Amino acid sequence: MDKEVDTTARALLHKAAESNAFIREEVDAALGHMVRHCTPARCINAFLDGGLSHLSAAVRKCAAQHLADLLERVGVARLLSGGKDVTDRILPAVVKLALDSSPEPRSFGRRMLVFLSSHRDFDSLLEKNIPTKDLSAARKAVSGLKAKGQGQGQGLGETPQTPASLPGSGTARASTLQRKLPKPTIAPSPTTTTATPTNTATTTPREPNCKYSSKPQGPIIEDKFEYIRQLTVLLESKDFRERIKGLDQLVADCQHNPSMVIRSLFPVFDLFRDRLLESNRKVNLYALEALQGMVRLLKDNLSGVLNHLVPAIVDNHLNSKNRAVYSAATGALCELVLNLDNSLLLEPFCFKARVLSGQAKVDLIEKSW
């Protein structure tokens, strides 16, 4: 299907301007399937080529809506740090949408622009890729929308007037990311021999050291772009304490706002995986312990990210000489085995077991049984 994406997208987008509501609904459904099942880079280029410059506002709106969903699935880090064929095209296209004359495409464009602005190199990329005549308008739009979104807890752009708008558009409320969570308490874990590696008969994976209230601490965010943007700010902060705070927040949202985490699964777990892979051992340990609670809450909803999550746990921590990190890593694997359909774990576990050595290989083979 990838070879036919460009042609298919053009044909479908052309039909988005039809007056027949049934045809528009079917077009929307077909484009949604294309976004979910085709190569993201090809889909992005198809929308950029086939819809964003169309004379019909309905076509531009349809292309912008599905492009917004696609950008969210891919994540800002991959979009602006990837190949030039995507990175060099996406910013000019989004800025053009953000300045569109029609309110519906403009709303999606502004949401995407604010979403992309969370990237650490956003300003330099903006200068590099945006013509001088549009640069000041783009910067002004970003700063204004950030202030509006954070200060008033409202949507980042005009509210689309059709039901096909992004979930939460124009109605985004104050994010759970802005609430203050209780400080996690660290309690010693009980000693037991269950789910214990063969060489640590008296040590068990520790319970996550995050204890959350059973009630939400504030209003729950409904806008996915704003949610991901604010979570990105925390989890990519230069201060490790802020990154730990972001991990606390993610676990709390898995408990109090799981639908948002599931809808934002790929970009959220791209951010989370980076915390597993970073060099700060305190953050690694905190992330591994937080993951145990997240697995218990999300269960099989994590199936889509297992091929990225399991290697991040196994490659970096299952052979760790740090006792606490090793224990937390085995604990995370145990929680996966206990809470997910084991058939989902068979492929990533077996693949990693083939290339591992030492105690990590033994542990993973035991979990696979």
- In the prediction, which pLDDT does 204 show? 41
- Residue 46: closest CA among 56, 35, 36: 35
Residue 172 belongs to some domain of the structure = no
Domain for residue 176, yes or no? no
Q: Is residue 178 part of a domain?
A: no
Residue 113 confidence (pLDDT) above 50? yes
- What is the domain extent for residue 35? 2-152
Q: Is the pLDDT of residue 192 over 70?
A: no
Confidence of residue 180 (pLDDT cuts 50, 70, 90): very low
Is 9 found in the same domain as 62? Answer: yes
Amino acid identity, residue 33? H
* Residue range 213-228, pLDDT digits in tens: 334 444 567 788 888 8
**Domain end: 152, 170, 194, which one?**
152
pLDDT over 70 percentage in the chain: 74
Same domain, 41 and 80: yes
**pLDDT at residue 364, as a whole number:** 67
pLDDT in tens, 135-178: 778 788 777 777 665 333 333 333 343 333 333 333 333 333 44
Co-location of 191 and 322 in the same domain? yes
Q: Please name the amino acid found at residue 202.
A: T
Give the per-residue pLDDT at 149. Answer: 56
Same domain, residue pair 130 and 242:
no
Same domain assignment for residues 198 and 114: no
Kindly report the number of other CB atoms within 10 A of residue 304's CB atom.
15
| Structural contact between residues 325 and 285, judged by C-beta atoms closer than 8 angstroms | yes
Dist CA 27 CA 15 (whole Å): 7
pLDDT higher than 50, residue 199: no
Same domain (yes/no): 113, 240: no
Please give the pLDDT value at position 314. 85
- Is the domain of 356 the same as that of 315? yes
Phi, psi of 98 (to 5 degrees): -65, -20
Q: Tokens 């979990």 sit at which residue?
A: 367
- CA 363 to each of CA 22, 330, 353: distance values in angstroms, whole numbers, following the listed order: 54, 8, 9
Tell me what the mean pLDDT of segment 65-89 comes to: 76
Contact 43, 9 (CB under 8 A): yes
User: What is the band of 286 on the pLDDT scale with cuts at 50, 70, 90?
Assistant: very high
CB atoms within 10 A of CB 275: 24
The pLDDT score that the predictor gives to residue 290 is 94
Considering the domain boundaries, does residue 163 fall inside one?
A: no
With left for phi above 0 and alpha for psi between -120 and 50, is residue 39 left, alpha or beta? beta
Query: Is residue 255, in this structure, part of any structural domain at all?
Result: yes
Residues 72 and 189 in one domain: no
Summarize the confidence of residues 317-325 as an average pLDDT. 85
The verdict on 238 and 327 lying in the same domain is yes
- Where residue 92 sits, what CATH number does that domain have? 1.25.10.10
* Two structure tokens written together for 293: 């609670």
Task: Return the amino acid letter for 201.
Answer: A
Q: Give residue-wise pLDDT tens across range 241-277.
A: 999 999 999 999 999 989 989 988 888 998 999 999 9
Q: Are residues 147 and 196 in the same domain?
A: no
Inside any domain, residue 145: yes
Which of 132, 152, 172 is at the close of a domain? 152
Sign (positive/negative) of CA torsion 137, 161, 172, 24? Answer: negative
- Asked if 108 and 68 touch (Cβ cutoff 8 Å), the reply is yes
Q: Do 199 and 144 reside in the same domain of the chain?
A: no
How far from chain centre, in Å, is Cα 279? 21
- Look at the chain and report how many structural domains it folds into: 2
Report the distance separating Cα 83 and Cα 163, nearest Å: 34
Torsion of CA 105, 110, 116, 117, to 10 degrees: 160
Q: Give the pLDDT score at 102.
A: 82
Q: In 99-209, where does DSSP find H-type helix?
A: 103-116, 122-129, 132-152
Mean pLDDT for all residues in the chain: 75
Maximum mean pLDDT: which of 24-28, 101-105, 322-326:
322-326
Q: Is 271 domain-assigned?
A: yes
pLDDT mean over 304-333:
86
Does 166 reside within a domain? Answer: no
Give the model's pLDDT for residue 368.
Answer: 57
Nearest to 58 by CA among 110, 23, 93: 23
Q: pLDDT class for 86, splitting at 50, 70, 90?
A: low
The C-alpha atoms of residue 241 and residue 305 are separated, in whole angstroms, by: 26
Q: How far apart are CA 99 and CA 109, in angstroms?
A: 8
Neighbours of 312 (CB within 10 A): 23
Provide the pLDDT confidence category of residue 85 given band limits of 50, 70 and 90. Answer: low
Q: Does one domain contain both 6 and 114?
A: yes
Kindly state the tokens that stand for 155. 């949507």
| Statement: residue 63 has pLDDT above 60 | yes
- Whole-structure pTM value: 0.47
